[in-house]
Amino acid sequence: HLERAIARLAALIGDLRRSRFSETAPVGVPDEQPPYLNAVVVGTCALPARVLLDRLLAIEQDAGVDILHACGG
């Protein structure tokens, strides 16, 4: 999922760079879950903040992320 998300981010963010992938244990979630796989990306973007946020949330939603559940809600 991360490689696919990063490919979609590249369409929004110029000069995209990313960290190595890092596996971390879930913290503060109600159920047992497998480790999370994380990465950091940086780059430049001319989109307004709200538009960028909406597009980032769409990438998560398309990947099947339930943000309320992921945050323990």
Strand (E) or helix (H) holding 36:
strand 36-38
Q: Where are the alpha helices (DSSP H) in the chain?
A: 2-10, 49-62, 67-70
pLDDT over threshold 70, residue 31: yes
pTM for this one? 0.69
pLDDT over threshold 60, residue 62: yes
| Rounded-to-integer distance, Cα 22 and Cα 36, Å | 8
Q: How high is the pLDDT of residue 28?
A: 83
